[in-house]
Structure 1
Amino acid sequence: MASPKAGDGDPLLNPPDPASNRGNGGVRRVPWASLIGFVALAINFALCIYRAEGDRGAIAFVTFAYLNLLLLFWCIRQFDQAPHGSAARGRIRVAVWILATSLTAVFTWKVAALMPLPVAAVAWIMAAATVVGGFYGFFIHEDK
């Protein structure tokens, strides 16, 4: 019985080829979980706009959050597909951090407005810790 080579069958050591996502003669498989998630996100966005009843601030907030999430998901996909060590991966890393930071800030701003000042301060401190931790993980610690 031959022993397997190191990393055989391990998706972390031997990641699948992006083309292997295609089956049946090169046709791409549909990522059903992602598709269902995006449809649910779009339905939620439409319901939020409907329930805003013309409140421009609420519509702007929901639209910003929806578009930010779509861009964030797209950038994360591009980040995963970019070759390690490439300049594109570095640029996408910056975009992912900026999008995540802006989403954190806008949700904290919305939630903190409903809270008493001491609790709002704690919410902002937690948001800042999240942003700083994300920066550390993405840019300082990297792939160590």
Structure 2
Amino acid sequence: MDAATSAVAQGPPPAPRVETRCQGESRGRARCGCALNLVLLLAVTVTFAGAAYRARRRPRDLAFVAAAYYLLALLLCCLAKLGLLAADPSADGEAQRRRVRLAAWAVSAALGATFASRVADAMPLLALKLAVWGIAAVFLGVGLYLFFCCQDAGRCAAELGPGQDAARPPAKASHELAPEEMA
């Protein structure tokens, strides 16, 4: 009786977890994405090490390579954090997403300015140097606009299919239509 009483008190045993095909595929994609990110990080690190080795006797070049590598790694961390925060719909999550967006834009602005200064130094004419800085400023302005003014652009693009307009509701697939709607 004691065993039966304790079994009733504990409740029914948990049902075995059945993994659907979609859950398995998403795990496989996550593993593949993680492996791809690891391979890309390894490739960037090897490239950085080669560039640092070639610039070892020129302190200015070495500082540029190190700063570019650091800023690129920091930008990838900001974007990964932004991706993690995308699923949090709370007001606190929105405030945190805004701060991370600002950090990502600031890091991308620093990275763009670093590359623009390097390219502008290689230009022979003042007009070309000013053109490089002008193009960098335009791209940074576009990045600022996309990060802060188009907050719902990513969600809208994900919800719409290819060739669909945001003003029209999305069309239903033929297997979703009722027989009377098909005619």
Of residues 57, 60, 77, the one that matches 1:54 is 57
User: Aligned pair 1:68/2:71, yes or no?
Assistant: yes
Change (3 A) 1:21 1:60: farther
| Cα drift, residue 22 of structure 1 | 4.3
Task: Tell me the C-alpha RMSD between the 2 structures.
Answer: 2.2
In the other structure, the counterpart of 2:112 is 104
Whether 1:79 and 2:87 are equivalent positions in the alignment is: no
* Cα deviations by residue, 1:84-136 (Å, 9 ceiling, x for unpaired): 56221111101100010000001000000111211111111110001111111
- Note the residue ranges of structure 1 that are not aligned, 5 or more in a row: 1-15
Distance 2:58 2:131 in 1: 28
Identity of aligned residues (%): 33
What secondary structure is seen at the aligned counterpart in 1 of 2:57? coil
Scaled by the length of structure 2, what TM-score is found? 0.62
Bigger CA radius of gyration:
2
Residues of 1 paired with 2:62 and 2:26: CA distance? 37
Report the Cα distance in structure 1 between the residues aligned to 2:143 and 2:57, rounded to whole angstroms.
35
In structure 1, what is the equivalent of residue 135 of structure 2? 126
- The more displaced of 77-86 and 87-96 is 77-86
CA distance in structure 2 between the aligned counterparts of 1:118 and 1:81, rounded to whole angstroms: 43
Which protein has the bigger helix share?
A: 2
The partner residue of 2:31 within 18, 29, 32 is: 29
Q: Out of 91-100 and 54-63, give the one that drifted further.
A: 54-63
**Cα distance in 2 between the residues matched to 1:141 and 1:29:** 30
CA spacing shift, 1:74–1:21, aligned 2, 3 Å? farther
Q: TM-score, length-normalised on structure 1?
A: 0.77
Shift of 1:141: 2.7
Deviates more, 1:106-115 or 1:134-143: 134-143
Which residue in 2 is equivalent to 1:143? 152
After the TM superposition, list the runs of 4 or more consecutive aligned residues in structure 1 that deviate by more than 3 angstroms.
Answer: 20-23
**1:21 shift after superposition:** 5.4
